Amino acid sequence: MRSIFTIARRELSTYFVSPLAYLILAVFLLVVGLSFCLNLIAFANECLIYGSNPYFQQQLNVNEQVVRPLFGGFVPVFLLILFPAITMRLLPEEKRQGTSELILTSPISSLQIVLGKYLGALVVSLVMLGGSLAFIGVLMKISQPDLRTVASLYLGVFLLGATFLAIGLCLSAFTDNQVLAYVMSVGVLLVLWFLSGISKSNSLNESLGDRATAFLSNLSVIEHFGDFTKGLVDTQHVAYYLSIIVFSLFVAQRVVDSHRWR
């Protein structure tokens, strides 16, 4: 356990001495902030126009119109493009610098190496999510968002991000080229994403049958995200994300280990 923390700590210090982490953090906050602003302005305008009308007033809901869409719309796609940038250097960098010879001749297991690296990346994503809590803070000043919905939303985003990171880490184990690791990760995540579109396409539905399309759409990373934004924490979705994470880390560990046996 201590070795995992040692590796994670080193990863973190590397992230935060390089401009990469700050750049990712800045871009992330910019995009989420933009999404927040647009939704908030739209909501405020609607309040101004319809606020005096008792019928429409009931329809106005800060949770529905500002909190929920904070990570809705284009934001998940943007996370899909951003998160692989966190993981792309994790394993390729070791091979390029020759430090893999140090790590692999140290008395630690390949599982500890993979978990340590994953933990480091996870903490970076937590810093990012933590930064975006500032928007919720602003919202609490001017309104009363439902904190349980906020918690569920953030659990969802955290799990989504953790899944992206696990898949990114797993694919970075296969190459010693960062660009390749990044492109592969984005590609695989996009495929996982569009599986949800398959179930909605009628022609495919007919040729593959209901079961197959249901199966495919259940594999999609985005299909499982929606309920969290509504304030619903369903174990089915948590289990989906956790199983993808465990599977990815398992594959990553096997690949790292295979370098010893080649």
Q: Which residues bind another protein (CB under 8 A)?
A: 2-3, 6-7, 9-10, 13-14, 17-18, 97-108, 260-262
> Closest distance between another protein and the C-beta of residue 113, in Å?
9
Q: Is 113 exposed, middle or buried (0-12, 13-18, 19+ CB in 10 A)?
A: buried
- Whether the CB-CB separation of 35 and 69 falls below 8 Å is answered with yes
CA atoms of 80 and 70, how far apart (whole Å): 15
CA atoms of 2 and 225, how far apart (whole Å): 33
> Closest distance between another protein and the C-beta of residue 115, in Å?
13
> Closest distance between another protein and the C-beta of residue 44, in Å?
45
Output 55 or 261, the one with its CB closest to another protein.
261
Question: Distances in Å between the alpha carbon of 134 and those of 30, 36, 130?
Answer: 12, 11, 8
> Closest distance between another protein and the C-beta of residue 138, in Å?
35
SS3 4: helix
> Can you read off the two tokens belonging to residue 22?
């700050």
CA 179 to the chain's CA centroid = 19
Output 101 or 234, the one with its CB closest to another protein.
101
Output 104 or 138, the one with its CB closest to another protein.
104
Output 84 or 116, the one with its CB closest to another protein.
116
> Closest distance between another protein and the C-beta of residue 85, in Å?
17
Output 101 or 206, the one with its CB closest to another protein.
101
> Closest distance between another protein and the C-beta of residue 121, in Å?
17
Output 6 or 205, the one with its CB closest to another protein.
6
Contacts (Cβ under 8 Å, ≥6 apart) of 179: 88
The phi and psi torsions of 99 (rounded to 5 degrees) equal -75, -10
Give the number of other Cβ atoms within 10 Å of residue 149's Cβ: 19
